[in-house]
Amino acid sequence: MTRLHPFTLLTIAGALPALAWILPAPAGAAATAAVALVLTLTPGASPGLTGIGSSPGWRPGLVVLRAALLTAAPFWVFLLLLHDVPTTIAIGLRITTMVASFVWLVAALEPARLVEAMVAAGWSASVAYLFAATLTAVPMLKARAQRIAEAQRCRGLSPRGGIASRLRALRALALPLVLSALHEVDERALALETRGLRPGIRRTTLAPPHDPVVERAARWVLLLACPAALVWRLL
């Protein structure tokens, strides 16, 4: 599955939830949920299926499936809390399709390949940069937030007490994080200028992902299936 073109992976992950909401419930949503859950077991999304990894047996192959089920489970609980059983099943299957599709997508799609595919398809390098830079900046800033929290605790900051004291503590944690991130903007801009990245500019990729005709046709079929299903439902 990881060998599929990134646009194909995105199309599958987008079309399944769309069809889950368009097709009549619960049968339609049950079918799409089943497909999405099976996808989480495919090689690539679950590397352990091929015997790679430290855990023995078939368990590593279920890592992505387990992540999808654990993410979807709270929705089922809250749906049951708020709705009757038929509504819970209908909405729950749709949400399960959405969750499983995206969990599978995250496991199967490498951000670097997506950027290569976007640039190869003629997208602006700036758009590709936005997503790639955000994905790399989030864990970096989260780690910095942890360090700031530890440093402020060493200085006597207490995250306990009433709402007012907690809000003061939040300000003491958030302000250094945001200000330090904003001070990096100039450095990043300089680095981008040095590398010749300007808004609207197109680049040539060194290794664009292979995009066979069959996959392109399959993407169109999937994309057209969604409006076709919608028309069928409305008529």
Partner 1 sequence: MSIRLLALIPVAAAISLALSAAVDAVALPLFLDTTGTILATALAGPAVGIATGVVTSAVNTLRNPTFWPFVVVQVIVALYAWGAARAGLFRSFRTAVPVGLALGVIAAVTSTPISYLVFGCTTTGGIALTTALGKALGLPPLGACFFGSFVSDFGDKAVTFALVTSVLHALPRRTAARFPWALRAIGVA
Contact residues toward partner 1 (CB under 8 A) are: 17, 21, 71, 74-75, 78-79, 81-83, 87-88, 91, 95, 98-99, 101-103, 105-106, 126, 129-131, 133-135, 137-138, 140-142, 144-146, 148-149, 159, 163, 166-167, 169-171, 173-175, 177-179, 181-186, 188-189, 192-193, 197-199
Say how far apart CA 108 and CA 41 lie, in whole Å.
Answer: 11
CB of 204 to partner 1, least distance (A): 20
Residue among 4, 25, 7 nearest 223 (CA): 7
Rounded to whole angstroms, what are the CA distances from 39 to 10, 11, 28, 166, 217?
A: 13, 13, 17, 44, 20
Q: Which is nearer to partner 1, 27 or 151 (CB)?
A: 151
Directed axis angle between helix 163-194 and helix 125-154, to 10°? 140
Q: Which is nearer to partner 1, 195 or 210 (CB)?
A: 195
CB of 70 to partner 1, least distance (A): 12
Residue 40 buriedness (CB in 10 A; 0-12 / 13-18 / 19+)? buried
Q: Which is nearer to partner 1, 201 or 228 (CB)?
A: 201
Q: Which is nearer to partner 1, 95 or 120 (CB)?
A: 95
CB of 165 to partner 1, least distance (A): 9
Q: Which is nearer to partner 1, 43 or 111 (CB)?
A: 111
- CA geometry: angle at 192 spanning 188 and 198, to 5°? 130
Cβ atoms of 10 and 118 within 8 Å: the answer is: no
CB of 225 to partner 1, least distance (A): 20
Scanning the structure block, which residue is given the tokens 């078939």? 58
CB of 64 to partner 1, least distance (A): 13
CB of 56 to partner 1, least distance (A): 30
Cβ atoms of 68 and 92 within 8 Å: the answer is: no
Q: Which is nearer to partner 1, 46 or 96 (CB)?
A: 96
Scanning the structure block, which residue is given the tokens 């950027």? 115
Say how far apart CA 162 and CA 164 lie, in whole Å.
Answer: 6
